[in-house]
Structure 1
């Protein structure tokens, strides 16, 4: 038994050491449970990634247990992001044939990622429903989750409507996602919006500092370029008047 555990540890360590890395301009990315390559797409050099279903299998009968896992491309050279701005251009298309009927183009960002991927925060979008004719579907176009304890379905049960929202995104087109992280809160902006589309009043993770990553989930072919990360010191919010019920 001891020999088996030792071999398993060595195998896991070897996999970590030999994780594939890709370089896009002056940035280097380490692939964690995704497959990827640098390609020319619509005239630009971009990072293309897909979730590696061999590394982390997906089970349609256990959706929440097998999505929102650490499948992402980690930006190397920055392991202490806590507060500041993350901005990236992204493009989501659906994989054909679809590996699961519920795919929606899941694409977004991870931040404050622990070295061993055991904890992180995330905001991502479901572009397939970003411009749906139904407001009910649009209200699910943005998702916050905190790994490992607060994935999407858990949050829907314990805090319905609080950690999801709408945003003007769509499949098969470029859009810019910008996240402003400040202490326990985060705000997401799409394209050149003056005001945020989505606000997380209080993030739920306990890890306060770490890596930044580019995320895709089941059935998404994701393209990324022009990632910019700016660190800032925590800025206490000014006191605001209490909301008034109408």
Structure 2
């Protein structure tokens, strides 16, 4: 698909250009025909390659910026859907490895503090999904953010070597810092990512690559 002169490959999602409140945006939803979901095998069937990714881009270090909004699908195929939406990066050619940071906007305004603590998530596909990181890293790859469903959320991710720093809604201080990314790809494409039960909308997408030293 093409959006504002940017060409994307569609990977395990349904994607289209649409209007949201009069604005032209990208809509992305997980395609359950291409990649089935099983709530009884949650760890095995979420945090997968479910995104549209930019064609012919090799991104290693730099800055990724986008505005995103998520809604829960009605009916939702997953009772515990959280509006999962985010960015995948350093995606290799066959989509078998990448890093990602995503949001669970429902959790950001929850009354339960445990849920709030899991509003922002990092993972590295395929080895380090949310469940393994939660078990082994004791919250190091998740955090809280004041965000919600049905609202535009601005994110900026600064990536350098093994470190990723996330800024939300133009705050001066980072909302989330990943000091040691787990992915094994050093460069690759960038993807607009969603997961189960989510209607994801994206706009104002841009990225800047850090020049690589020769």
Q: Is TM > 0.5 for Structure 1 vs Structure 2?
A: yes
Runs of 4 or more, structure 1, over 4 Å off, are none
1: CA distance between counterparts of 2:140 and 2:132?
Answer: 12
Distance 2:211 2:146 in 1: 30
| 2:90 and 2:186 in contact (8 A); partners too | yes
Which residue of the partner structure matches residue 31 of structure 1? 10
Look up the match of 1:230.
208
Equivalent position of 2:48 in the other structure: 69
TM-score, L = length of structure 2: 0.97
Number of equivalenced pairs: 213
Asked if structure 1 preserves the Cα contact closer than 8 Å seen for 2:8 and 2:53, the reply is yes
CA deviation map 1:143-180 (0-9, x unaligned):
00000000000111111111000112110011111100
Name the counterpart of 2:160.
Answer: 182
Aligned equivalent of 2:173: 195
The answer to whether residue 37 in structure 2 is matched with residue 90 in structure 1 is no
The alpha carbon displacement at 1:86 in A equals 0.3
User: Residue in 2 aligned with 1:112?
Assistant: 90
Q: Partners of 1:101 and 1:133 in 2: how far apart?
A: 18
Which residue does 2:130 correspond to in 1?
152
Q: 1:99 and 2:68 equivalent?
A: no
The structural deviation recorded for 1:33 is 0.5
Contact 1:24 1:45 in 2 (8 A): no
Q: CA deviation at 1:232?
A: 0.8
Contact 1:47–1:223 (8 Å) recurs in 2:
yes
Asked if the contact 2:155–2:170 (Cα under 8 Å) also holds between the matched residues in 1, the reply is no
CA contact (8 A) 1:34 1:50 kept: yes
Larger RCO: Structure 1 or Structure 2 (Cα < 8 Å, ≥ 6 residues apart)? 2
RMSD over aligned Cα atoms: 1.2
In the superposition, the TM-score normalised over structure 1's length comes to 0.84
Partners of 2:212 and 2:42 in 1: CA distance: 36
1:30 CA displacement:
1.4
Q: Encode CA deviations 1:184-210: one digit per residue, 9 max, x unaligned.
A: 000111111001100001001111100
- Offset of residue 233 of structure 1: 4.1
User: Could you tell me how far 1:23 is from its partner in structure 2?
Assistant: 1.4
